[in-house]
Amino acid sequence: MTQPPLLIAVDVGGTTTAGGAVTSTGEVVLEERIPTRRDGPGRAVGVIEELIEHLRTAATRLGHPIRGIGVGVPGAVDTVTGRVTADVVHVPELAGVALAAMLERRFGLPVFVDNDVNALALAEWTFGLARGARSLVVLAAGTGFGAGIVLNGRLVRGAGGYGGELGHTPVKFDGPRCFCGGRGCGALYASGRGIADAARARVAGHPDAALQRAAGGDLLAITAPLVFQVAAEGDPIAVAIVDEACQAMGAIIGVVVNGLNPEVVIITGGVVASLAPLETRILKAASEYALPQALAQTRVTIVPSDKRVTMRGAAALVLYEMGKEESR
């Protein structure tokens, strides 16, 4: 019996690279993960190729034809050339690499490469919570803060692959320098890195502060989840940082709703397990910044992050790009 065709989907992360063989309805048939740094720093391309090779061999053995390969990377991608830009902080060896062309040569299959949050948006749009919507914005608050935008049935990538950098919209115009080089960005307040940095700055030199004690006196052990935990215990410094995170998230939702008026906004990412109990406060903050009539037409949902969703997004990317080619 002929088996259904599969898409090979890869999500490249700073820590783990997850791959799968996925059906066109999003069902994961095969799955494998390899630590991105398994072969040492600078060797991620070899890990990606090995993962694809394993999945292709296993899928072929089961009798499935392979339609194409999708790869999500944690940075901006010029999808016209399939080249990763210089902005790929967590896997720096991919900077400037023409990954799509390289993998096409190696595997002889169509290959599509895009930013991982764009892949995540395509996953929610194709298989997930935003199925059937014409417009969608995914806000992904992890270590950094990314976003993926689908408008009128098209992914919005911008001129050079930077479309969707909504974490770096300023929410405080006279705010401090951001790690992106800008000022007062939302990511300073609502990303894991921003929350941890803010907490460290406020308790440095105060060994009796609750956050320092909870981290065993080690400033570097202060992480965003720890800040949320200490805030839940009532510490005023941690409470203030969490308040700012909710307010910044509300302001970013305001930018999205007023600027794009999408049908669906999905908030996800590693920080979201911590943000989920704060949903009411985030929505209240959003109502302070968004136009009420626009916000009323947007469904805002907060969901915990799941690496599998991003991986399936790389499969959705292949379907999206091949669908565009077929409709030409």
Residues 124-183 that bind Zn ion (CB under 5 A): 168, 178, 180, 182
Q: How far is the CB of 245 from Zn ion (least distance, A)?
A: 15
Query: Residues 49-88 vs Zn ion: string with x where CB under 5 A?
Result: ----------------------------------------
Q: Write out the two tokens for 71.
A: 């790869």
First-to-last C-alpha distance (Å) of the chain: 32
In the numeric block, the tokens 């630590």 are attached to: 35
Tell the burial category of 251 from Cβ atoms under 10 Å away from its Cβ (0-12, 13-18, 19+): buried
Size, binding site for Zn ion by CB under 5 A = 5
Q: How far is the CB of 250 from Zn ion (least distance, A)?
A: 18
210 binds Zn ion (CB under 5 A): no
Q: How far is the CB of 180 from Zn ion (least distance, A)?
A: 3
Closest CB to Zn ion among residues 171, 300: 171
Residues 176-205 that bind Zn ion (CB under 5 A): 178, 180, 182, 185
Closest CB to Zn ion among residues 20, 192: 192
Q: How far is the CB of 176 from Zn ion (least distance, A)?
A: 10
Question: Phi then psi for 29, rounded to 5 degrees?
Answer: -90, -40
Residues 277-294: b if buried by 16+ CB within 10 A, e if exposed = ebeebbbebbbebbeeeb
Question: Phi then psi for 20, rounded to 5 degrees?
Answer: -155, 160
Identity of residue 80: V
Closest CB to Zn ion among residues 178, 264: 178
Distances (CA, A) of 291 to 153, 163, 202, 266, 294: 23, 23, 34, 18, 5
Q: How far is the CB of 164 from Zn ion (least distance, A)?
A: 13
Q: Write out the two tokens for 299.
A: 């469904």
Point out which residues bind Zn ion (CB under 5 A).
Answer: 168, 178, 180, 182, 185
